[in-house]
Amino acid sequence: MPTRPAGPAHPQLPRSAGPDRPRLPDLQPTDPQPPAPVRGPRLVGRSEELAALVGALTADGPATVLVEGEAGIGKTRLLQEALADPALGGVLVAGCLPFGEALTLAPIVDAVRQARTRADELDLSPLGGALRPLFPEWADALPPAPEPLDEAGAARHRLFRALAELLARCGVTALAVEDAHWADEATLDFLLFLAGRPLAERVGLVLTYRPEDVPAGSQLRRIAARPVPGSHRTRIALSPLTVAGTAQFVSSMLDDEHVSDAFAAFLHGHTAGLPLAVEESVRLLGERADLVRHRGEWRRRTLTEIGVPPTIRDAVLERCSRLDPDSRQVLRAAAVLAEAAGPEVVAAVAGLPAARADAAVAAAVRARALVEDADGRVGFRHLLAARAVYDDIPGGERRALHLRAGRALEALHPLPIARLPHHFGAAGDTDGWRHYTELAVDLALATGDQQTAVTALHALLSSGDLPAGAVVRLCRKFPVFAFSGHLGSSDLLEVLRGLLDGGALARSERGEVRAQLGRMLMHAGQYAAGAAELERATADLGERPYEAAAVMSALGRPAGADWPVAAHRRWLDRSVALVEARVPADRHLPFLIDRATSLLEMGDPAGWEVAARIPQTADGPTDPLDVIRAGLNLGDAALRWGYGEDARHRLLRAIGLAERHGHLRLRDMAATTLAHLDWHTGNWQGLAERAATHAAIENEPLIVIDATLVTALLTAATATAPEQLAQAAALFTHVIAEARRRGFADVPLEATAGLARIRLEEGRGEEALELTEAGMRVVDRKAIWLWAVEIAPVRVAALVAAGRTAEAAALVARYARGLRGCTAPAAAASLAECRARLADAEEPAERAAERWDAAAAAWEALPRPCPALLARERQARALGAAGREAEAAALLARTAAALADLGAERDARRVAASEARRPAGGRRGYGDRLSPRELEVVRLMLTGLSTPDIARSLSRSPKTVAAQLTSAMRKHRVNSRTALAVAALKAGITPADPAPGI
């Protein structure tokens, strides 16, 4: 045994550590004794946790067990003890590694490889062909590869189904994933998939993880937070050992002999009861011969305090320093590999001859620095120990070890593609890193793991000094819609633009790369820049008509806030002409869908004629993906146009077809659109929960934004307290900001309208004017008046409230002109409401009541009950102002009841508490709001005019003006003109220009 160093390796603890830590009795030196016989510890202090884990896995039905705790707390040991129970069988254990590179499903694949080396006896269905990219060594035994799928979600869903079938054929009843905080997103998605399978096909799940190391936004948080319907759920949180537990733990390592209370308290105080730290400390003390038996119990040997290292890292390194040089080299090789490996691989990485390597491995195993599994592979017992050794390796030697690791793993079959980029990258071998990173990209794309592919492609494209051909090849691979988050974080744009402008690409290659760049920019919210790149790309794609038509079709979609609809129409027409002239007829369907979608978004009813030519079923050669996409796009268009039943029919059909064919992203998009439809049509039961589910979907910004909008709308409508209304306002604000950031020009308009309504209700008219002015600018610039359905009525209301009735009238007239030729019922109802709001300020009460009746009927016909009922309320108030009090009261009572039935509680209470009042002169009452005539007087007062001047300007008597000012003071709860001016400005009322000559 190596001699002990002359001095302590670490600072010694003080003799007294405070009143809660007992002073250790001094022992006199004894005769030299052999080292303490330290062995592996038993599981101590975990009887309840062990029973819970075994009980969950042996109960009827699948279980989901979450085992959480800090590093070194004993999660793996608890799982190992449970798996030793004879009652358990069919549990597959997968382990995740802390590599910086994402590893597509590598934990699951590696676990299956360890459990089974052959697949020819599994009798897999044709679905098993999807496993070929993951298990190339089984190519002869697997079914033929299925047809590739264009949509990543469908490819991933198909792979998950195949992998679940493989687990079932292997007899797996439960899947245990250790260190799940390091799992790649594809693995976590697969776990979610397993948890959501039909009950009869579901397997149990055991996940061990460190809560503090789970990344923000990880799917693991979703798994841990949400119960799985039909599954037993058990959460086991491991805590440190107590002092008594520490004594038992140490005793189990020392032939079960008694450990002194003082020594147990000393170790507990130093290690905080962390089992791994206690174990490493005891082993180190035993190797130092610092433990002696005294009167039948184990105590410290020395008179002074024992120098116990302050961290697990220090304890591991001191223990390793006591091994011979070859064994230390083997430990360094194992630390670089990070996972258990065969002795021949460890020897190759260590750079030792076979005989010396075998002896060194055996010595490391005897010292329990390494452990050997049932398959003969060796590795560290805990990754904390491996990390301690790894961090202690000098940089130059570490790079050499990684290079040898990469070369050793290259010789294995099957090739561990997911591991090789890590080793060649750490070795500084750029060519090797690029080669295997691209292979990892291909594997990720083949399995539908877009996020992993995107991360790796981003790293490759940003690495610099790539040949032009390599950049083109990589650009062809990246999935555009998953790439946008990387655009602003690096010099990727400069790399691509430098290549495009450098003259190294052929013309068609330049067009292809530029088209990809344009789509990326558009998806990232940089519409103008993206459109510019797409326009330039069309000039280089002359010999590739399909690709050129696709670019033109993308430019024909009326997105972005800057281009008018006429510009989009020109590109759409060019695309149609090119498709009809140069694209084979069997490839027309995607363009037909794009054309119908674009026309309907523009408000052109010709889009429905095009839509009638699109098949609604995936019969014959029709690609189901096209049919699903058509159902989603046309369902969304029907919602916008106000064809509620048609929208529901299309969306439900798209959801069913997407579910059947595994197109999960499109399914979720259609389901979110259906939730939006249910908001409009008043199907609010359970809608909040559905919207929250959609809003939690990761990496789908459009889904999340739309679901959050539905949540905001529902919160505002059902709010019964000011804080709930404030929450709705915050959600609207978030939707507006996020949609604008991503370049969705039309999406923010409904959220803007919702927020402006709240601001009007709060008396913050100036904010409502600013919000709606910005929204209407988008509509004016695009000249797509279908987009004004939600925002135009709120804009008119804000203008009328501010006394700017002339502007409101001009807007209504412009809206009516813009809708000529558009037959959308929703737009007609919106215009009818705008006219009714204007009538409140400009027409007699009887005529205003008729206008509101027409608006309510138009909304009811869609049906959209919430705006219809609010229009009925305004109709009742106009009826009351016209002197028809009984009729108004009855209508208000019916409206309040209907609002309550709908769930619009705040509006229901307001309507029920109010009554239509008929003030003197027969004009309608406005409650605490200024009437339009009072508003005119106040706005002129704000310019500094006197009462007689205001009267002359408005052709009224001074007495009438004085009465209107008095009424305005009463409504604002002030008693002077000065105070009225301050209150009016705070409420957003703006001064008016005086009439000429005043």
Q: How many residues does the chain have?
A: 998
Number of H helices and number of E strands within the chain? 45, 10
**Whole-number pLDDT of residue 573:** 96
61-65 mean pLDDT: 85
pLDDT at 292 over 70: no
Band of pLDDT at residue 1, cut at 50, 70 and 90:
very low
Is 250 within 8 Å of 282 (Cβ atoms)?
Answer: yes
- Using DSSP's 3-state secondary structure scheme, residue 66 falls into strand
Distance CA 110, CA 90 (A): 16
d(CA 972, CA 930) in angstroms, rounded, equals: 9
Q: How confident is the model at residue 687 (pLDDT cuts 50, 70, 90)?
A: very high
Q: Is a pLDDT exceeding 70 seen at residue 4?
A: no
The neighbour count for residue 573, using CB atoms within 10 Å, is 13
Q: What is the pLDDT of residue 602?
A: 97
**Contact (Cβ atoms closer than 8 angstroms) between residue 179 and residue 95:** yes
Please state, rounded to an integer, the average pLDDT across all residues of the chain.
Answer: 85
In angstroms, rounded to a whole number, what is the distance separating the alpha carbons of residues 894 and 890?
A: 6
What is the distance between the alpha carbons of residues 787 and 776, in angstroms, rounded to a whole number? Answer: 9
Query: Are the CB atoms for 63 and 232 separated by under 8 Å?
Result: yes
pLDDT score recorded for residue 457: 84
Q: What is the pLDDT of residues 193-217, one digit of tens each?
A: 888 777 777 888 999 999 888 887 7
Question: What pLDDT sits at residue 232?
Answer: 78
Return the higher-pLDDT residue of 788 and 913. Answer: 788
Confidence of residue 778 (pLDDT cuts 50, 70, 90): very high
Question: pLDDT for 586-598, tens place per residue?
Answer: 999 999 999 999 9
- Could you tell me the pLDDT band of residue 299, with boundaries at 50, 70 and 90? low
Please state, in angstroms and rounded to a whole number, the distance separating the CA atoms of residues 860 and 788: 19
The predicted-structure confidence for 440-495, as pLDDT tens digits, reads as follows: 888 888 887 777 887 888 888 878 778 878 888 888 887 765 554 545 444 667 77
Q: What is the tens place of the pLDDT at every residue in 393-450?
A: 998 999 999 999 999 999 998 888 888 999 999 999 999 999 999 998 888 888 877 7
pLDDT recorded at residue 921: 37
In Å, the largest CA–CA distance within the chain is 119
Please give the average per-residue pLDDT across 861-889, as a whole number: 93
Least trusted range by pLDDT, from 714-718, 809-813, 947-951: 947-951
Both tokens of 373, joined, read 């599994």
The predicted model gives 239-268 an average pLDDT of 88
For residue range 81-129, list pLDDT tens digits in order. Answer: 999 998 888 899 999 887 766 567 889 999 998 888 788 888 889 889 9
Report pLDDT for 373: 87
d(CA 558, CA 764): 33
What's the pLDDT tens digit per position in 934-955? 888 888 888 888 888 888 887 7
User: Does residue 280 sit in helix, strand or coil?
Assistant: helix
Better-scored residue on pLDDT, 597 or 373: 597
The two three-digit tokens of residue 616, written as one number? 């609604």
pLDDT of 393: 94
Can you tell me the mean pLDDT for 945-973?
81
- The DSSP line for 82-142 is HHTSTT---EEEEE----SS--TTHHHHHHHHHH-S--TTS---GGGGGGTTT-GGGTTTS
pTM confidence score: 0.68
Record the tokens describing residue 439, joined without a space: 């292979």
Report in angstroms the alpha-carbon separations of 638 from 600, 611, 633: 9, 11, 9
pLDDT at 21 over 60: no
- DSSP E strands in 226-334: the ranges are 232-237, 258-259, 291-294, 297-300
| pLDDT for residue 314 | 80
Judge whether residue 303 has pLDDT over 50: no
- When pLDDT is cut at 50, 70 and 90, the band that residue 681 belongs to is very high
Q: What local confidence, expressed as pLDDT, does residue 737 receive?
A: 92
The residue among 412, 381, 400 whose CA lies nearest residue 333 is 400
Residue 13 has pLDDT above 60, yes or no: no
Residue 335: pLDDT above 60? Answer: yes
Side chain identity, residue 440: A
310-314, 845-849, 919-923: which has the minimum mean pLDDT?
919-923
* 229 confidence band (pLDDT: 50, 70, 90): low
Pairing of strands 63-68, 204-209: parallel
Q: What is the pLDDT of residue 221?
A: 81
